[in-house]
Structure 1
Amino acid sequence: MEPNQKPLKADDSPTEQHPLFGLEIEEWTPPNRSTVHLKSFAIANDGLEYATKGIRDGENSQVQVTFPLHVPASEWFCTKLAEMCSVPTPTCRVLLEPESQELFFGSKINLAAYRDALVVNQWSELLKNASFYLKKQLWAIYAYDQFIYNVDRHFNNYLYVQTRQNTVAVEAFDFGLSSLVHGWPNKIGSALLPADCKTNLVWAIIKQVIGSDADLTASACNVLDKLRTLDSKAIDYIFSGMPEAWLSALQKQALISWWDSESRMERLSSVESEVTR
């Protein structure tokens, strides 16, 4: 089973169950690109490569957040919640470093994704030629980022994947500056992202290029509807697969209580007003 994972019944999960067996890191590998917290890559004993984040990665960041030790918890929570809401994101696993016994968040490397960071001209051209499906993905991810208070969705915090139809699709990765590191949700309430954060600055450009219509806003609202539908059992399930060292029982319960409260609905309404305006 995954480290610290509790046994689950077959019908406990709103999606698929957590993997039965954990993964161990066999070799650290050099990064080909990095983000604010993402500095390390590793090959696990399944033979695949993962982008990794540990508890100390937030402490070493140049960006100051309220709870820097919550970086791996934020990554795990937001990735798993995204999966439940059909927001495209890479598969993640808990990785054990055998020597130190430290547990890392691991995001599986998508070998079909662009390996190098995009420059502005490439990104601009990609948006101009965006397929209908890519536009819908971008709107859905924006709504999700607003809900989880992700301040750092810049244009290289998407994974760009070439499809068999010779178009480009994206996956949202890097939730290290979202949600739990800011004290979300209780310290954030229904507040939207700051106007000057990277997510909003980049979104303003994206929206201007790809446009807005009923179908695109519907893809954003669809994510919010799924977040309304999920009950606190789904949140407890996400936490059941997360190492206990990443987040205290008290903090988990605080989030679960918020999820059961009217405050969640108020936040969702606030985000919906933003994406439909």
Structure 2
Amino acid sequence: MIQTSFLPVKLIHQEPFSGTKDLALVGYTADRIRYAVKRESDGPTLPVSEWIGYHLCRHCSIHTPEFAIVECTNGELAFGSRWEEHAEQIGSGTAQVRALDLLATHASAISAIHSVDRFMVNPDRHAGNFLFVVRTGIQLCLAMDFSMAGPRDALPFGRHPLQAPCNTYSIIEIVRTHLGKFDDGAYRTAIDALKTFTSANLAGILSGAPDEWFESVTRQQLMDWWDNDALQRLSELET
């Protein structure tokens, strides 16, 4: 579900969440659908950074969890990423051989995701920020979590270029050097797709976001940056 119109999903129950830096809340709908909830009150530009990141991924045919604007029980409008109840995720308890197998199997998808991470200046794409889900018998790699990227990193659209050392480059180094699986073609295809994301596309997704997400960065600032700087940044990311 890609929600580009202002039709919030109503949450009827919420619970605090701990263990990750920027996810403080999970919420449930009346149908018991769970969402990871990112609010402006959790951090300036947090929901709009997620909103842009997920939309850019979808534009590049990169899989993400379903997402929506959600209405919290106090009326606050937030970004909601639907919880993938049966997803596999690499964590501290994952055997190394299994973790490496997942990264190798999905190296092409991870290479494409890297293009969006570099463009959005996302320093925190660690192994736990991929979700591996089975749909119609096929395992897919989903990108999630842009909570440290784009406007969240620095206004209006991140401090380019992404600097090493960081989690994003560390995971790609494993894919590229240890596994020998980095897919340059998938990376470049995603860069080319980002070049086709127009100002009109951006205006559409920003207009579909709540006004309260733009307390620290305005829609016009983001539009101005895109018009003046996006293609230059992409040209610098071609290699």
Gaps of 5+ in 2: none
SS in structure 2 of the partner of residue 223 of structure 1? helix
Tell me if the contact between 1:23 and 1:45 (Cα under 8 Å) persists in the aligned partners: no
Q: TM-score if structure 1 supplies the norm length?
A: 0.76
SS in structure 2 of the partner of residue 56 of structure 1? helix
Percent identical pairs in the alignment equals 27
State whether structure 2 residue 99 is matched by structure 1 residue 126.
yes
Counterpart-to-counterpart distance in 2, 1:25 and 1:210: 42
State whether structure 2 residue 159 is matched by structure 1 residue 178.
no
Residue by residue, what CA displacement relative to the aligned partner does 1:100-157 show, whole Å, maximum 9, x if unpaired?
221121100112302x65227535533246565x111010011110010111111111
Q: In structure 1, which of residues 23, 26, 38 is the aligned counterpart of residue 12 of structure 2? A: 26
* Greater Rg over alpha carbons, structure: 1
Q: How many residues align?
A: 239
Counterpart-to-counterpart distance in 1, 2:104 and 2:167: 24
State whether structure 2 residue 178 is matched by structure 1 residue 209.
yes
Q: Which amino acid aligns with 1:158?
A: F
Tell me if the contact between 1:44 and 1:95 (Cα under 8 Å) persists in the aligned partners: no
Counterpart-to-counterpart distance in 2, 1:25 and 1:159: 23
Aligned counterparts, 1:1-277, within 5 A: 18=4, 21-29=7-15, 31=17, 34-58=19-43, 69-98=44-73, 100-114=74-88, 118-119=91-92, 122-128=95-101, 134-162=106-134, 168-185=139-156, 188=159, 191-212=160-181, 216-248=183-215, 251-261=218-228, 263-273=229-239
Tell me if the contact between 2:150 and 2:157 (Cα under 8 Å) persists in the aligned partners: no
SS in structure 1 of the partner of residue 54 of structure 2? helix
Counterpart-to-counterpart distance in 2, 1:111 and 1:27: 17
Residue by residue, what CA displacement relative to the aligned partner does 1:150-198 show, whole Å, maximum 9, x if unpaired?
1111111111224665x7432111111110112255563xx32111111
SS in structure 1 of the partner of residue 238 of structure 2? helix
Cα pair distance change 1:83/1:137, threshold 3 Å: same
Corresponding residue of 1:8: none
